[in-house]
Amino acid sequence: MRVTIFGGHGKIALILAPLLVEAGHEVTSVVRNPDHVADVEATGATALVSSVEDADEATLVKQLTGQDAVVWSAGAGGGNPDRTYAVDRDAAIRSMDAAATAGVDRYVMVSFSGSTPDALVPEDNPFRHYQDAKIAADEHLRGTGLAWTILAPGTLTLEPGRGAVNPDASFNDGDTTSRELVAQVAAAVLSDTRSYRQTLVFGDGDVPVDDWLASLA
């Protein structure tokens, strides 16, 4: 598959890209900073310098034409509410609409376990901006005709990924997840139809990823 990763210099993306390349996929990783090109290309991916925050839908359509799949792993990184909404909500939604226009059917969203109205933190909590942005983006994705999968890990760590999940995780309950495991799950679901149109909440655990995906069938 020809796969575009948005947020190509993020920790998850830098782990995911070589997994996809090793599996035989042709990977393009989108980065905002030209200084990050060398890091991205060291993974075997092709770097594309472009700001998701600034790219309009027409630009994204051009970038995605000829691709088979999108992985959204971009984020504003918190701190600035306006930028959080601009990237985590608005740019993500533009990428979904652009994917549909460009004929890219497969879309994998890296979200988080708290991206649900059932887990809302108080409005005066600074985290609420990120939560609202992700909820809006995920809901938009669910309403598209794309073959989507939403990955919903919890608090992310730098621990090694063991290729095994806790499939019973929920927000703030068993959902602590290594970034490497998120990348492993993203690579596993990319061409696995059992994961299509599923929101997958998980954390580090003992159930091998393939056994977990088999349980979804």
Looking at residue 198, its amino acid is: Q
Burial class for 88, CB neighbours closer than 10 Å (0-12, 13-18, 19+): buried
pLDDT at 41: 97
Q: Is the dihedral of CA 121, 122, 124, 128 positive or negative?
A: positive
The string of DSSP letters for 154-216 reads -SEE-SPP-SEEETT-BTTBS--EEHHHHHHHHHHHTT-GGGTTEEEE-EE-SEEHHHHHHHH
CATH 3.40.50.720 fits domain 2-216: yes
Give the model's pLDDT for residue 79: 74
Q: What angle do CA 2, 195, 198 make, to 5 degrees?
A: 115
Domain ranges of the chain: 2-216
CA–CA dist 30, 208 (Å, integer): 30
In the prediction, which pLDDT does 174 show?
A: 96
pTM, two decimal places? 0.96
Q: Could you state, in chain order, the average pLDDT of each consecutive group of 10 residues for the chain (217 residues)?
A: 98 98 98 98 98 97 98 90 96 98 98 95 92 97 98 97 97 97 98 97 98 92
Q: What is the pLDDT of residue 77?
A: 83
- In the numeric block, the tokens 């599923």 are attached to 198
